[in-house]
Structure 1
Amino acid sequence: MDQSSITPNASDQQLVANGDNESATSLLQDKQGRRRDNLSEVTFFEYMTVGILCYVNLINYMDRFTLAGVLDNVKTAFSIEDDKAGFIQTVFVVAYMVFAPIFGYLGDRYSRRCIMSFGVALWSLMTLVGSFMPEYKSFLLFRGLVGIGEASYSTIAPTIISDLFVGNVRSKMLAFFYFAIPVGSGLGYIVGSVATAVAGNWRWGLRVTPILGAVAVMLMLWVMKDPERGAAEESHMKTTTYKEDLKYLVKNPSFMLSTLAFTCVAFVTGALAWWGPQFIFLGLSRQPGVDITIGRVSLVFGAITMVSGLLGVPLGAWLGAALVKRYPRAHPVICASGLLISAPAMCAAMFLCESYFYAPFVLMFIGELALNLNWAIVADISLYVVVPPKRSTAEAFQILISHMLGDAGSPYLVGVISENLKRKFSPFEAPSKLVEFRSLQYALFVTCFVEILGGLFFFLTAIYIVKDKLKVERAIAEAQAQNAEPSHSTAESSSAAE
């Protein structure tokens, strides 16, 4: 490609020097559009890089939710109740969120390929070793170590995509990357239930992803491309101190509000993903003439999660790309609408679970489809309202907040509420199946209220997003002009010498 098409000339610099920010932003958008406006310009190795990242994200979420598909077996094996069963996921997420800022700091400054390879190798090995742990406490320890490994990957991977692409192509690639989350989660339920049925032991479900993880490490080390930070935007902006990075993020209203909204999404997703199969199984088991197993419910729930992700994530990305050109605030509005559609669908599914067989699955599918509209869009928002050298830190900060206040506690919180309700409804004897179902049902209703809260945060994000996106575009345009000055000075000196 002609270098002149991506390097600001003297008149371009003058626009920025004169403070004409609108013109500078238009210039930046024009250059980005000419450079990467369609998928035909994407190289083979760039496709390979995104494919590898998507593959790792897929097995990443497979590993997270393999246990959720066999949760009843896990409770039996360790002789634990709902609160301790929920605590398994909480330990994983706490370790994940605590180490995310560390990997975010490293990802903005050191080799992302090496950091991610180390992380995937760590969580693969810890998952394998943890599958042999005979006691509940030792199993918890290794689930925490798995969370440390996964934090390295999830924090850094989206920033590589942001450094390879801009504009519409970046949105499409992020959609491809994030559709692996619901699909991988669904595969986790399926792998867990199928491995348990075939091997007769739920632990074998945890021994599938480590093999796939070893393949991922080799692909990242030898095939994946690790671009220069800010390469797609030609910004070459310098990194600042970690304190300055955090101060910048806290003062960024679009980033903070979208992070709070995504925290609500994480809370709901974590609770429903962990307790959904168990709850549906308890509800369907109460219906006369219904003979069903937790394994079959997990298979169906996994299929619903996969299909809703395959449809919902691309649909959200398509709606965002189609509407944002005419309505710049479309991204957060689409996310808010998805949550406000999902909440009543999920609530209705919970109400009807003990009376109807197919209705809960259909409503759950609608709820998950609407919820999945936001995955790619939220990632895109967090990248385009933050300047390039702070994006790994931004991803890490968002992971910390969304998991600390979201799915780190939601599985455990739902389990604790459920156990307390069991004691209230049945204080002097073992809880009946009705009491078990009703307690978990009431506990899960919390997720519906949190979805509504998330929708409100997304609507607040829409107020600031245009202004904050423009600030980033101006900063990149100014950095481009400053970086171009030495080359122009050199060229002028050479002409004068001649």
Structure 2
Amino acid sequence: MGMCSRSTFNKVFAVAILTAINFLNYMDRYTIAGILTSLEDTTANGFKINGKPEAIEDWQGGLLQTAFIGSYMLLAPLFGYLGDRYARKYIMSVGILLWSAFTLLGSFSVNYWMLFGTRLFVGVGEASYATIAPTILADLFPVESRLRILSIFYLAMPLGSAFGYIIGAELTQLIRMYTNQAVPWRWALRVTPGLGVIAVLLVLFVLVEPKRGHSEGQRTGKGVQGETGITAYLKDIWYCLTTPTFLLTTIGFSAVTFTTGALAQWAPLYIYRVSYVVLGADKQYEKSTAALIFGGITVVAGIAGTLCGSELSKKLGKKTRKADAIVCSLGMMLGTPFLFLALVVAQYKILYLGWVFVFVAEFFLCLNWAPVAAILLYTIRAGRRSTAEAVQILMSHLLGDAVSPLICGAISDSIFAVIGPVQGVQHGKAISLEFGLLITAFVCVLGGGAFLASTLTVEADRKAVEIFNSKANHSVQKSAHVDYVPPDAADDFDERKELLADAIKDKDIVSVDYKSI
């Protein structure tokens, strides 16, 4: 195999295996949502306390997702530090094995709190993958082709999420129908662990890890590598937090994760409850049908939105370097009213129109998956991208889906306590969960504003990284015989200001608001 064909194979394989693992990641994450109706059924969950069936309320169902996201986001900074300094494929492999093992262990849970504990450790494993995989793709592909590659990688999110619902609900239903299993939901959690082990073997023995910064010219020695030690890591974090575009897009992305996290956890149960109100007890959807409908909507809207967002950014990018930020803000602003309408029309028993609104809302929300990832990768330097991914994971989940399922569940329980005696159990539960989910529309408005603000800063931050890469590559060319570790230049305000002033002098950019640097 020639050098060119081997290089092409390595790139294609990396995209394929990393996307497949991302698919498993989201499939595993949202299988819980698919089995939630079974977990809340005391006759089907298999949980007991003091010999009596254990009942699970809405807030506890939300807490399962919060447990996973909590450990996932809190451990992300650790893996961000490791990912900028050590061999990334070994770190990923350990994480994949960890999440697979605890997902399997969760299927043997005898009570709610044992399942809760396993979800904590699943989050630890997934944190190692999410902080590192996008940086490997960034090192394999230059900025010009990166957006399309990222759109392929992030297609795994809607696909994996939808399959998680479907596997959780449909497999549980099939096992209940055709076997004598008393607690069929356990088998839904046993699908991804075996596939995870296969993925680890492929990563360890086939995946070729590129040097950090390879696609941007850093090809000598070990490539760009961060300094070790807590002081160096704190400096990396400070660099990320003082990059305005990174901070604004992270706030915007937090609104996305808040909304998608709440919908992922509660939408199937909401559809099930609303179907009783709209169709009546005799025509109410099966629990698995509710999950299947939402899963189908999610996968189609997710694929269409992710691909359209990528292509729209590429076309708009020919006219402005703000394209990715513009697409992100448009997605949030256009999706918000449809999300609100999707939840409200249920009150008027227009069920099928609600599905149309859900589809349109999810389509617009998914426009920003690839662009927001691309923004991070070209406004943050190569040696700090795993750290940036980790900080973004921490902030977006801390403010987003770590709390949104719990908040929505708590609002639902509180409202039901008031209206339940008046409306009745079934009608009251549907209305209360609707009000719990309405908070997502208001959060989306805030996220759209943050993305819109990032259009004012993205050009300057992107240019600063390009200037740094240009100077670093020039240094490499002058001293190619030594392993190059780029200088820690432009870390303080004055140096970053000086770099951008040079760009203005060369007419690369027109002006810079130094207060935003």
TM range (shorter): 0.7 to 0.9
C-alpha displacement of 1:288: 3.7
The 8 Å contact of residues 84 and 225 in structure 2, kept in 1 or not, is answered as no
| Corresponding residue for residue 379 of structure 1 | 373
C-alpha distance in 2 between matches for 1:357 and 1:261:
30
Aligned length: 451
Counterpart secondary structure, 1:134: coil
| Corresponding residue for residue 341 of structure 1 | 334
Residue 398 of structure 2 is aligned to residue 407 of structure 1: no
C-alpha spacing 1:439/1:233, structure 2 compared with 1 (3 Å): same
Matched letter for residue 397 of structure 1: V
Matched letter for residue 78 of structure 2: I
C-alpha distance in 1 between matches for 2:34 and 2:7:
38
Following superposition, which runs of at least 4 residues in structure 1 exceed 6 angstroms of deviation? none
The 8 Å contact of residues 143 and 378 in structure 2, kept in 1 or not, is answered as no
Counterpart secondary structure, 1:109: coil
Cα distance per residue 1:273-324 (max 9 Å; x no partner): 1101111111121124533112011111111111111111111011111101
Matched letter for residue 240 of structure 2: L
C-alpha displacement of 1:237: 3.9
C-alpha distance in 2 between matches for 1:255 and 1:51:
27
Residue 177 of structure 2 is aligned to residue 198 of structure 1: no
C-alpha displacement of 1:239: 1.9
1:3-402 superposed matches below 5 A? 43-76=8-41, 77=45, 78-200=54-176, 201-235=184-218, 236-240=223-227, 241-288=232-279, 290-354=283-347, 355-402=349-396
Matched letter for residue 62 of structure 2: G
Instruction: Show structure 1 runs of 5+ residues with no match.
Output: 1-34, 490-498
Instruction: Show structure 2 runs of 5+ residues with no match.
Output: 46-53, 177-183, 483-517
C-alpha spacing 1:488/1:87, structure 2 compared with 1 (3 Å): closer
Cα distance per residue 1:246-295 (max 9 Å; x no partner): 11111100001000100111100100111011111111211245331120
The 8 Å contact of residues 102 and 122 in structure 2, kept in 1 or not, is answered as yes
C-alpha distance in 1 between matches for 2:27 and 2:265:
13
1:427-466 superposed matches below 5 A? 432-466=425-459
C-alpha displacement of 1:225: 1.6
C-alpha displacement of 1:56: 0.2
Counterpart secondary structure, 1:207: coil
C-alpha displacement of 1:343: 1.0
C-alpha displacement of 1:199: 1.3
The 8 Å contact of residues 262 and 408 in structure 2, kept in 1 or not, is answered as yes
Counterpart secondary structure, 1:232: helix
Cα distance per residue 1:220-241 (max 9 Å; x no partner): 1111121111011113445241
**Structure with greater proportional helix content:** 1
C-alpha distance in 2 between matches for 1:82 and 1:431:
17
Cα distance per residue 1:133-190 (max 9 Å; x no partner): 1111111000100000000001100000001111221111111001100110001011
Counterpart secondary structure, 1:226: coil
C-alpha distance in 2 between matches for 1:194 and 1:283:
20
> What TM-score do the two structures reach when normalised by structure 1?
0.88
Counterpart secondary structure, 2:85: coil
C-alpha spacing 1:79/1:107, structure 2 compared with 1 (3 Å): same
Select between 94-103 and 78-87 the one with higher mean Cα deviation.
78-87
| Corresponding residue for residue 492 of structure 1 | none
Matched letter for residue 463 of structure 1: L
| Corresponding residue for residue 492 of structure 2 | none
Counterpart secondary structure, 1:67: helix
CA RMSD of aligned residues (A): 1.8
The 8 Å contact of residues 284 and 353 in structure 1, kept in 2 or not, is answered as no
C-alpha distance in 2 between matches for 1:305 and 1:135:
30
> What TM-score do the two structures reach when normalised by structure 2?
0.85
C-alpha distance in 1 between matches for 2:445 and 2:110:
41
Counterpart secondary structure, 1:48: helix
C-alpha displacement of 1:424: 2.0
Identical residues among aligned pairs (%): 41
Matched letter for residue 436 of structure 1: K
C-alpha distance in 2 between matches for 1:151 and 1:49:
19
Select between 463-472 and 233-242 the one with higher mean Cα deviation.
233-242
Matched letter for residue 205 of structure 1: A
Q: Which has the higher contact order (CA 8 A, sep 6+)?
A: 1
C-alpha distance in 1 between matches for 2:156 and 2:87:
24
Cα distance per residue 1:49-103 (max 9 Å; x no partner): 1100000000110001111012111112241111111001001100000100000
Select between 302-311 and 460-469 the one with higher mean Cα deviation.
302-311
C-alpha distance in 2 between matches for 1:56 and 1:488:
38
C-alpha displacement of 1:487: 3.9
